[in-house]
Amino acid sequence: MPLLVEGRRVRLPQSAGDLVRAHPSLEERARLLRGQCVQPVGPQGLLYVQQRELAVTSPKDGSISILGSDDATTCHIVVLRHTGNGATCLTHCDGTDTKAEVPLIMNSIKSFPDHSECGRLEVHLVGGFSDDRQLSQKLTQQLLSEFDKQEDDIHLVTLCVTELNDREENENHFPIIYGIAVNIKTAEIYRASFRDRGPEEELRAARALAGGPMISIYDAKTEQLRIGPYSWMPFPHVDFWLQQDDKQILENLSTSPLAEPPHFVEHIRSTLMFLKKYPSPTNTLFPGNKALLYRKNEDGLWEKITSPGS
Task: Give tens-digit pLDDT for 247-262.
Answer: 999 999 999 999 999 9
Instruction: Please indicate, yes or no, if residue 251 is contained in any of the structural domains.
Output: yes
Q: Which domain holds residue 289?
A: 4-304
Instruction: Please indicate, yes or no, if residue 155 is contained in any of the structural domains.
Output: yes
Task: For 95-129, give one letter per residue: b (16+ CB within 10 A) or e.
Answer: bbebeebbebbbebbeebeebeeeeebbbbbbbbb
pLDDT in tens, 94-153: 999 999 999 999 999 998 876 565 899 999 999 999 999 999 999 999 999 999 999 999
Mean pLDDT of 25-44: 96
Report pLDDT for 308.
Answer: 46
Taking the C-alpha atoms of residue 240 and residue 237, their distance in angstroms, rounded to an integer, is 5
Instruction: Please indicate, yes or no, if residue 64 is contained in any of the structural domains.
Output: yes
Query: For residue 13, what pLDDT band results from cuts at 50, 70 and 90?
Result: confident
pLDDT in tens, 141-170: 999 999 999 999 999 999 999 999 999 998
Taking the C-alpha atoms of residue 222 and residue 306, their distance in angstroms, rounded to an integer, is 15
DSSP 280: S
Query: CB 141: neighbour CB atoms within 10 A?
Result: 19
CA distances (Å), 273 to each of 196, 224, 245, in order?
20, 28, 15
Report pLDDT for 134.
Answer: 94
pLDDT in tens, 209-238: 999 999 999 999 999 999 999 999 988 999
Report pLDDT for 113.
Answer: 77
DSSP 236: T
CATH number assigned to the domain comprising residue 213:
3.30.1330.200
Taking the C-alpha atoms of residue 64 and residue 92, their distance in angstroms, rounded to an integer, is 18
Beta strand extents in 43-165 (DSSP E only): 46-48, 53-57, 66-69, 76-82, 88-93, 121-127, 154-161
**What is the residue type of 141?**
Q
Q: Whole-prediction pTM value?
A: 0.95
Instruction: Please indicate, yes or no, if residue 309 is contained in any of the structural domains.
Output: no
Instruction: Please indicate, yes or no, if residue 114 is contained in any of the structural domains.
Output: yes
Instruction: Please indicate, yes or no, if residue 288 is contained in any of the structural domains.
Output: yes
**What is the residue type of 46?**
L
Q: How many structural domains are present in the chain? A: 1
In sequence order, the 6+-apart residues with CB closer than 8 A to the CB of 37 are 191
Element containing residue 21 per DSSP (H, E): helix 16-22
Radius of gyration of the chain (CA): 19
Instruction: Please indicate, yes or no, if residue 310 is contained in any of the structural domains.
Output: no
Asked if the bond preceding 2 is cis, omega within 30° of 0, the reply is: no
Taking the C-alpha atoms of residue 271 and residue 211, their distance in angstroms, rounded to an integer, is 13
Taking the C-alpha atoms of residue 173 and residue 130, their distance in angstroms, rounded to an integer, is 6
DSSP reduced 3-state for 199: coil
Q: Specify which residues 125 forms β-bridges with.
A: 78, 159
